[in-house]
Amino acid sequence: MTNILFAAAESVPFIKTGGLADVIGSLPKYFDSKKYDVRVIMPKYLCIPQKYRDAMEYIGSFYTYFNGRDRYVGVLTLRYQGVTFYFVDNEDYFGGDYPYGDMLWDIEKFSFFSYAALSVLPTAGFRPDLINCHDWHAGLIPVYLKNTFAADSFYQGIKAVMTIHNLRFQGLWGKNEVMKITGLPEYLFTPDKLEFFKDANLLKGGIVYSDAVTTVSRTYVEEVKTPFYGERLDSLLWARRDSFFGIINGIDTASFDPTTDKAISRNYSAEDFRSRKKLNKTALQKELGLEVDEHKMLIGIVSRLTDQKGFDLVQRVFEELLYDELQFVILGTGEWKYEDLFRYYAGKYPGKVSANIFYSDALSRRIYAASDAFLMPSLFEPCGLSQLIALRYGSLPIVRETGGLKDTVEPYNEYANTGTGFSFSNYNAHEMMATVRYAEGVFYDHKRRWNNMVERAMKADFSWKSSAVEYQKLYDRLLGR
């Protein structure tokens, strides 16, 4: 049996602020349980729902010296959907109503988590063969493992993998402050280790000291080795190119299933969507006050409303698109300029635009089920989950060819009658608009081809099972098995 430990800041169903939580909550379930014992360690936040905290079993506790004084470290466990979770307890660090705060406090909090995650393993009675560290919050685990804990025989031989979910977030702060907080020796804060343009970088430490680095799509691996996408770590990632791998994310196909989803108006499948999917459209049109017309092309957007997601392109041409026979449903929050943009157009074109400036999981599912197409023109997108969910629900993605969007959406080829969506390559508003209008033309003028594409999209396999197989191959290679 190969023992694997995932270390991360969040996981569904306990705490979620982004896609990282979906990965940690889903991926471990898909490993071959006869060969791999995959467990998860994360902080025990006070904002975890009470029903889960009540179900946790206390294992033990101790004090450890960290950042100038002795700190309480508790460890609790809970088995959920067949996966064992460990929770590091310290209310000074993990109290509050939200898992994240100001950056300096987060640096200290997750430095402590990285140290404590290793410290609790003997108490938990679990020795992993490999620790997979997810994003900068767990970036110091490989550093501590290969330095502070290196002399202890319990930790010798444990491998470390660093997984980057979004390179933009790295855990940066002043070198002297991080040195004091972490207790790591000064010789680790050099340009070839943790130093980063005179600051300290927790993610960089994880990249340097891990045995392999992964990220969440094959295209993103290549992108981040270039200056434009590399967030000033491109040279390091290029240097690690022989041990840097892209493994595409998946989705929980049991949860995101239009045949059983209780949040949508009518369930449907790849076999009967032609008659049933449009019932979700008319129900959503009624719910949101749009013109009720099953024949009108409806485009969905479920997203953070930020520049990264390409909304500067949308802003440039949105009114021009509204001259067409299109409807838009937007769900999400973000930068005020985009929130106001969609509110303005919802007021100006009430039968064509619905702006929902909040987040609702149930409404997002109704949008996926109701929409004909799903717009996702991201500047960069390490993997993206929304396009995978859209494919699952037969809402054809219209995406820019970047990161995981390029890897998961096959562009429509009218000559071969292939593809599962539409894409454009340059980050250009009018190229995006031309692609939307191309999709519009197929929707209205070539409905049989459109429906063939929907069927292919719904039958595409983006479950976690294939991703888990790729992780298993990597782990086996690192462990010589």
When pLDDT is averaged across residues 260-267 and rounded to a whole number, the result is 97
Is pLDDT at 18 greater than 90 in this prediction?
no
Architecture of domain 273-461: 3-Layer(aba) Sandwich (3.40)
Query: Cα 46 vs. chain centroid, distance in angstroms?
Result: 23
Q: What is the pTM of this model?
A: 0.92
Position 468 confidence tier, pLDDT thresholds 50, 70, 90: very high
Q: What is the pLDDT of residues 44-63, one digit of tens each?
A: 999 999 999 999 999 999 99
Angle at 357 between CA 356 and CA 362, to 5 degrees: 55
Q: What is the pLDDT of residues 352-366, one digit of tens each?
A: 999 999 989 999 999
The Cα–Cα gap between 318 and 108 comes to 43
Tokens of 19: 């896609």
Pairing of strands 36-43, 422-424: unpaired
Contact by Cβ (8 Å): 388, 365: no
When pLDDT is averaged across residues 26-32 and rounded to a whole number, the result is 95
When pLDDT is averaged across residues 288-308 and rounded to a whole number, the result is 96
Q: What is the pLDDT of residues 396-447, one digit of tens each?
A: 999 999 999 999 999 999 999 999 999 999 999 999 999 999 999 999 999 9
The Cα–Cα gap between 369 and 363 comes to 10
**pLDDT value at residue 476:** 97
Position 17 confidence tier, pLDDT thresholds 50, 70, 90: confident
Q: Which of 308, 325, 433 is nearest to 378 (CA)?
A: 308
CATH H superfamily, domain 2-250+465-479: Glycogen Phosphorylase B; (3.40.50.2000)
Q: What is the pLDDT of residues 112-139, one digit of tens each?
A: 999 999 999 999 999 999 999 999 999 9
Q: Which of 362, 377, 383 is nearest to 26 (CA)?
A: 383
Name beta bridge partners: 60.
75
Position 481 confidence tier, pLDDT thresholds 50, 70, 90: confident
Tokens of 302: 């479920």
Equal CATH topology for 2-250+465-479 and 273-461: yes
Domain ranges in the chain are: 2-250+465-479, 273-461
Neighbouring C-alpha atoms within 13 Å toward the C-beta of 103: 12
**pLDDT value at residue 204:** 98
The Cα–Cα gap between 445 and 423 comes to 19
Is pLDDT at 19 greater than 90 in this prediction?
no
Contact by Cβ (8 Å): 188, 138: no
